[in-house]
Each structure stands twice: as structure tokens, then as C-alpha cells.
Amino acid sequence: MTTVLAFVLVFGLLTIFHELGHFLMAKKAGILVEEFGIGFGPKLWGQSWGETVYSIRLFPLGGFVKMLGEETDSKNERSFRSQPPTKRLLVIGAGPVMNFILAALLFAFIFFLVGVPVEQAEIGAVVPESPAYKAGIKPGDVIVAIQGIPIKAWAEVPAAIATRAGKTTDITINRSGQILTVKVMPELAPDGQRGIIGIERSMKKHRPLASLYWGARQMIGTTIFIFQQVVEMVVQRQATEVAGPLGIVQVVSEVAHTGFINLLSLAAVLSVNLGLFNLFPIPMLDGGQIVLITWEAIRGKGLTPDQEGAINLIGVLLLLALLALATYQDFKRLGLGV
């Protein structure tokens, strides 16, 4: 039950925010929005406010925006297709943009609650009865060297300790200006793959505005990292890291059991993924529509219905192929017999 609820909440939040971007920009552009729906399937509830019907559907996964003239030609001046390319580009691009904004807000909320990670190797907490605790390491200590090798940032600490499981390790710390060296024997982590000593990174809390700044920075950094991973995957022609629906459900399930903050962090990362994915230049995705509208602006005229239908069919086939590949990788990864 926890898994299903967590998946519905996370996926629903991401897709509703995405559609909200299209909706708000369409309203701003003066386009007639016929319906804004939450979920899919049979309508459970609907209410007209102004010229738009707001509805809730049976299956609470995602949402949709129905604009006049989005799928068929309409001579109404407020239809989607009657708008100049610039307005249509803004409406289409607003969906992915909202996913990036949502990610920044989620990261900011997390940083406001728990703080922003301190870059230097300052210890924020020590797990009771852990190797670090038994060695006398305290919160506030700053690690300056491990086995005589200087440590300049926290990012260097896990790697330096990972290979030291079961080995006596010299850790030099700065405690309020006093330099001390303690001997610690890292223990094996529960995954059996690395050494740990039971310390947590120091976090610095900020006010809301500062948290927004750090949230935006984290969103940008996450976006760049994911984009680099996608490029590397394409260049190396490796699809083993592609996660499909089953893989995403599994990750959400695992993270949901580790706490609310971790679930929010996962939602932020998935929101960035959704924003980037929708910008791929594949027909039927926002990125594909952006390419077609841009091409229309360059040529001075749009595609014929037959041409657009053929391109959209190619897009559907590509998306189905990608879904099949991702699901296949899920089955292999989860050991489900494929």
C-alpha cells in the first residue's frame, strides 16, 4: 500500500505540475482551454469555472490540458493552431520548465528543513556505538587527512574510507583549532561493498530565500549531471541504465521506506528527468513539437495534416520501442526471467 500511494503521489505531482505549466501559459497567451483534468479515464467530478472545465478522473496518474484546436484545425482566433509560432512555443515549453521549477522548489524545501550540505569535511553527527563514536570523534570535528592523505572536501571522505574496512585507519581531525589524530577501524556497510565509520555530513540551515537559491543551484547541477549521463549513454550505446515503469516503481518503493525527505529528494530528481525527457526531439513529446513549430516558423508554413500524422506515428513507434527496451531492462535487472 505504501508503494502504491508513494508512486501515485510522486508521479501525480510531477505530471500535474507539467500540465499546469501548459495550462497557465495557454491562459496567459489567450488560448481557449476547454478542460484541465487531473488523472485519466472516466470523469468522477467536473466543474466549470469561466470557460474551462476542471475535472478529476478515475485513475490518479497524471493529467491533461485540452486546448481548442490543439489536434484539429480551427478558424477560431483563440484556438491553439491559430496562434503565432512564438506563443505556441511558449505554451509547449512551459511544461518542462514547470518540472525544473518544481525540482528547484522541492530541493529548496528539503534544504530549508534539513539544511544545505557543508562542502568541507565537517562531521554533523556520529552514530552511537559506531567505529567513529568508539574512537572519540565528535560532531563539529573537521577531517583534514585520512592515512596521511589531505582531505579538502567531504566528497573525498567516503572514497577514502570505502577501501579500509577491517583495517586500522589514521584519521586526522581539526577540533576547534586543535589537530588530533585518532585510530579508527571502519566496518563493512550493510551492502557488504564498502567500509564505513558511522559519521554524517554537517548541514547548514538557511532562511527560505537562501534555500530557494540553493534549491535552484541543486536543480541546475542535477540537470547537467543527468544530461551528461544521457549523452554518455547514447555515445557508448549502453541501455543498461535505462529504467522503465517497473524500475521506477521499485526505486520509489525502496525510497518511500527510508523517509519523507528521501522521497522528496527522489521526486525532485524524477522531475528533472521528466523535464529533460519531454525536451527530447521526438514527435509526440514537447521537444518534438518544439522542433516542428520552429521548422514551421523558418519555412513560413506548417505541415499538412498527412505529414504531421506520419511524423506523429513515427514518434509513437519510437516511444513504444523505448518503453519496450526500458521494460526489458527492468525485467533483467529485477531477475524476472527475461
Give every CB contact of residue 214 below 8 A, 6+ residues apart in sequence.
107, 108, 111, 116, 206
Spatial distance between the Cα atoms of 93 and 111, rounded to a whole number of angstroms: 28
Burial tier of 144 (Cβ tally within 10 Å: 0-12, 13-18, 19+): middle
Report DSSP letters for 26-47, one per residue: HHHTT--EEEEEEEEEEEEEEE
Task: Specify the DSSP class assigned to residue 82.
Answer: G
Catalytic residue flag (residue 254): no
Report the candidate in 86, 13, 15, 53 with the shortest Cα–Cα distance to residue 274. Answer: 15
What phi and psi values does residue 269 have, to the nearest 5 degrees? -65, -40
Three-state secondary structure call for residue 242: coil
Report the candidate in 73, 62, 34 with the shortest Cα–Cα distance to residue 50. Answer: 34
Active site residues: 19
